[in-house]
Chains A and B, each alone.
Chain A
Amino acid sequence: DSGVTQTPKHLITATGQRVTLRCSPRSGDLSVYWYQQSLDQGLQFLIQYYNGEERAKGNILERFSAQQFPDLHSELNLSSLELGDSALYFCASSPLGLAGGWTQYFGPGTRLLVL
C-alpha cells in the first residue's frame, strides 16, 4: 500500500460524458501527479500540482483539467469523453526534496471505460 488513494476504482461511462477522478496523496506530500496508461501509448505524464499550484504539464488534452485543493487532494476532470480516453489513470505523490520528484508513490489507479 503506497498510501495514495484513488476513487473510484472503476468507471464506465458513455462518449460525450464528463467524469471526475479523485486522488488523496500520502500524508505530508505536497506534490500530486496524474498519469494515463493505455495499451497503445504506455504510461504518459499528464500534469503535476505542488501545494495547489500547477508545476508541470505533459500531454494533457484540453478536454482534461485538474486541480489541487487546500487539503492537498486532487481531482482530474475529463470531459467530452471519447472511446480513446479509455485507460488506467494513476495519481502519484512525492515528498519534498531533491530526490523527492523521483520517488513518486503511485495509487492503485482508476480504470475508465468509455462506451
Chain B
Amino acid sequence: LAKTTQPISMDSYEGQEVNITCSHNNIATNDYITWYQQFPSQGPRFIIQGYKTKVTNEVASLFIPADRKSSTLSLPRVSLSDTAVYYCLVGALYNQGGKLIFGQGTELSVKP
C-alpha cells in the first residue's frame, strides 16, 4: 500500500469545520483512498472512500484533486464526540479482501 503522511494531531472547537489532509505521492492507478475513525479502546470504523474528485456521505466529505497525490477529509460542524484518531489508507484490495495498513493517524481533539 502507498505510504501516507498526515498531521499527528489537530485541535478544533465545536461547530467548526475540520479538514484533515493526507499526502500520498506514490499512489497507484488502481489505488483507492479510504478513511477510518477510531475512538479510544474501540475498533476503527469506516468513514468514507473515494477514487477521484469528491465523495460525500452523511458523515463526511472527501476531496481528491486531479493528481490524486493528496486527499482531504472534511468533517462539517464537529462536536465533542468527533474527538478521535483519523486514519488515511491508500491502496488496492481484491474482491475477497486484504490487509489494511494503518499509519499513525491524526488525533483530532474537539474542544467546547
Contacts and interface: CB of A to CB of B under 8 A. Distances in A.
A102 B104 contact: no
20 contacts: A30-B96, A43-B44, A43-B87, A48-B98, A48-B99, A55-B96, A94-B97, A98-B94, A98-B95, A99-B32, A101-B93, A101-B96, A102-B32, A102-B34, A103-B49, A104-B44, A104-B46, A106-B43, A106-B45, A109-B41
A3 B46 CA distance: 14
Main secondary structure of the interface of B (DSSP, over half): loop
Contacts of A35: 100
A59 to B, nearest CB: 10
B57 interface: no
Interface in A7-36: 30-31, 33, 35
Interface in A24-76: 30-31, 33, 35, 42-45, 48, 50, 55-56, 58
Interface size class of B (residues with CB under 8 A): 20 to 34
Given A42-B104, A88-B41, A102-B32, A96 B46 contact: no
Given A31-B96, A55-B97, A103 B43 contact: no
Interface residues of A, number: 34
Contacts of A97: 95
Interface of B: 32, 34, 38, 41-46, 49, 87, 89, 93-105
Contact of B95 (A42, A96, A103): A96
A101 B44 contact: no
B96 A50 contact: yes
Nearest to B103: A42
Contacts of A31: 96-97
B19 to A, nearest CB: 22
Contacts of A33: 97, 99-100
A31 B98 CA distance: 9
A106 B98 CA distance: 14
Interface centre among A48, A100, A104, A107 (most CB of B within 10 A): A104
